[in-house]
Every structure is written in structure tokens, then in C-alpha cells.
Amino acid sequence: MVDYQTVSIVFAGLSIGLAAIYYMLNLRYIRRNQELQQETRQAQFFMQTYQSVMTPENQRLHGEVLEWEWTDFDDFSERYYKNPTRKGEWISANITFDILGIMLKENLMDPEILFEMEQSGTRGGTVLWYKFEPIVREMRRRESNPDLLKNFEYYVEEMYKLRRLKGLSMEWSPENVWWFEK
């Protein structure tokens, strides 16, 4: 015969088991909800970035900056960096990709999304970096600022890694400043 104490122990055990199951289901629901929020934030970041990068003004600016020519760092500095307007244009052209590098480092942006944007024809970051890399490295040295545009460099390295992982070749052509498939 079952006594009252046994029934209450079984009932208490079932209650604890059901509470544990309910708690685990709630944790799964919360975790999935957080993942969806993260995806939504990434999509918002991407759209905001895309909209700022793809404005006609920004595209014109990038095009102009990519057409700049110089013989060495001192020539670059005299022509562009000491000119407040040109310096502002140069910083503006580079800062977008520096910010994207920060977002990549902090896992706020999916590298695959940025890779697709780079490959879809814009390719602004990689082209801009490889054109100005010698200038940036010399600025780092002369200004004792090893962190100058380090996140931009990180961004380009990540794009290069993805390109290599996908089996795509990459060749720099200074004559036309564009990537092309071999």
C-alpha cells in the first residue's frame, strides 16, 4: 500500500524534474532569441555601412583618392596630407574600413557578408589598402603610431583569408588598381 509520505516524495521529485525541464527549455528559447537579435544587429550594421559606402559622394571620393599619384612619402605628404581638404578626404576614405575592421574583430559583422560586398564589384577596401599601404606604414614609422589604421589592415587581411579559403587567386595590378581572376 502507498502511504502519504511516498506520494509526496514522488510528487516533489516530479515537480523538480518538470521545473528543470521548463528551465532548460526557457534557456534554449532565450539563447535562440539572443542569436536572432545578434543577426538583426548585424544586418542593421551592414545596411548602415552599405548605405554610407555606396553614396554617390563617397564613391566619388574613393574614385578621386584612388587616382592620386605621388613619387614617395614626402611627395604624398606635400601634395595631399598637408592640404587640409585632401587630408580630410584621405581620412574619410580610410576610416570606413577601419571601422569595419573593428566590427569584424568584435564579431559585430559577419566576415562572409563583408566578403560578398568586397567581391560584388565595390572592392573598395582591398584596393584602397594596397594603394596606400606604403604610405600608412611610413606614417606609422614617422609618427611613432604603430596602430594607425590597424583595423583597416585587419579588415583587408580577413578579406584576403576568405578569398584564399575559397580558392580564389588574388593579384595586385598597380596599373589598373583592380583585382582580377587568373
Q: In whole angstroms, what is the distance from residue 65 CA to residue 87 CA?
A: 10
Q: Where are the alpha helices (DSSP H) in the chain?
A: 4-53, 56-67, 73-76, 84-105, 111-117, 124-142, 150-165
- Note the pLDDT of residue 180: 38
Residue with cell 606609422: 140
* Low pLDDT (below 70) residues in the chain: 1-2, 121-123, 169-182
pTM above 0.75, yes or no: no
The three cell numbers of residue 5 are: 509520505
Cα dihedral sign for 161, 167, 53, 84? positive
pLDDT 10s digits, 84-109: 999 999 998 898 889 889 989 988 88
